[in-house]
Chain A
Amino acid sequence: MIISELAKQKPFIITSELTPPKGPDYGNTLKAADSMEPFVDAINVTDGQSAVMRMGSLGVCRLLADRGNEPVFQLTCRDRNRIALQSELLNAFGLGIRNVLCLTGDHVALGDHPDAKQVFDLDSVSLLWAVQRLNEGFDMRKNALNGATELCAGAVVNPNAWPIEPQLLKMERKIRTGARFFQTQAVFDVSKLRPFVDLARRMKVPLLAGVLLLKTPSMARYVNARVPGVEIPENLITELERSADPTKTGIEIAARIIVESKEICQGVHLITGGREELVKEILEKADMLP
């Protein structure tokens, strides 16, 4: 079921995230999907996350759909021009994928092919607009299609950005351009979500809070140094450092954030970064298992 419908039927949605393999063997990717599938409503598949070349998002989305999972197809503007992006959206629809998360994409300088040409022919907002056109039965140049797609477009917003006003304006622009659900960048201070929750509520779109599992203190420091738009507070890193079992502590922190988010959001989006088997434990700790 598409995320926007799901949000109407369930009081609290849980989605998670899967990174396609670096190479042709997707065996472990599917194992990771299986380990969390019973506990989540939908699984995002990333598209060249951090500008690292991997197996494509759409292929893995279809593999997930074959197994009865609800995939969220992440699509970025970094690697494709508008012709390829629209074509890919038609591919997705044709292959039975319904949820598309429209992203701008990370700069190639951050990834493993810093010498690549980055495209950015469109950006997240104009990509949302392209989805809207396809859903109306037209392409971006108003050429008629032989049918209309029924894609549910989602978007992201970063509550950690400062100042937040430009982010709020962009979020509103995305809603006006057809975003039907939002996932946030990973948050550690839930109070930062408040203005975004208010806007989402006012404009009647569900917002899922991003929850990142911290595995070790060094991973947390790496994220702070290298992942744009995420900020892990020093006190949490200290908590991990003092812990005899940092992963267990990370699970507790994630569970805490879920519980706090439940007060104000329509759901959470879990980012476990390779430890998908821990999704169950995180949700258990947060008392979110049925």
Chain B
Amino acid sequence: MMLITRLKPMDEISSQVKDSGAVLILACNGCEESFGNAHPQQLRYLEEELEKKSASVTQTLSIDFLCEPILVRYWLRKAEAQENFDSIVVVSCGIGVQVVSKETEHRVYPACDTVTMGGRFGQAWGKEICKECGQCILPYTGGICPLTACSKGLLNGPCGGSKDGRCEVFPETRECGWHLIYERLKAVGRLDLLLGLPLVRDYSRSEPPEALITLRDQILEKQVQTL
């Protein structure tokens, strides 16, 4: 499969990243590279735009497949040894963002919205952790997606049935997604996010734009030609 993403509006990214100190940009060379958002040119644009909004980008790293936890862990440790940073902007699908989030104590922000799985190559093992909603809300939920982590897909906090961190519906097999989000936000000092205006999903954003689909076709066409 191939997860298709598009860059979030710059204002949305910078409003989340502001006051986050030094930034590490972590880009995925998996499905993404072919998708443009992680091209060196695009990453330079992201760096410049973030710098304009007074964030200091200390490092930009491109890694093959951010959906691969071991790879992510390896490069994160390496990056940490090289330079100090306070937060990470991830250029990948929602899976990459959540894998990074799990591997670090730093605040993690998605640069992209994941729109559809409608492509090919690239793989992520394990449970479904990205619904390709086209409206990545991971900055508000501690880098854990409630659409997949909560059995009801609730966006604004736990239901009343969570007990000892287990899901009320499937206590034997599932953790309460909102418990995980709460623990994470507590650890990073952002419980205030749980008191914000209610999040409401915009389903119109999950419809893959025609231009992206055309671009995908062009990319695939080019690959066929070079075979």
Contact = CB atoms under 8 A, between A and B. Distances in A.
Interface of A: 82, 104, 107, 109-110, 118, 120-126, 128-129, 140, 156-158, 160-163, 165-167, 169-170, 172-173, 176-177, 185, 228-229, 231
B49 interface: no
B195 A176 contact: yes
A212 to B, nearest CB: 14
Interface residues of B, number: 30
Nearest to B162: A161
B156 A173 contact: yes
B198 A173 contact: yes
Contacts, number: 98
Contacts of B201: 121
> 3 closest Cβ contacts across the A-B interface?
A228-B161, A158-B160, A228-B168
Given A169-B191, A173-B195, A123 B152 contact: yes
Interface of B: 151-164, 168-170, 178-179, 182, 186, 191, 194-201
Contact of B163 (A120, A161, A176): A161
B158 A166 contact: yes
Nearest to B200: A126
Contacts of B168: 107, 228-229
A238 to B, nearest CB: 22
B155 A162 contact: no
A109 to B, nearest CB: 5
Given A109-B169, A140-B200, A173-B194, A158 B157 contact: no
B182 A123 contact: no
A253 B12 CA distance: 54
Contacts of B199: 126
A217 B98 CA distance: 45
Contacts of B169: 107, 109-110, 228
A50 to B, nearest CB: 12
B167 to A, nearest CB: 9
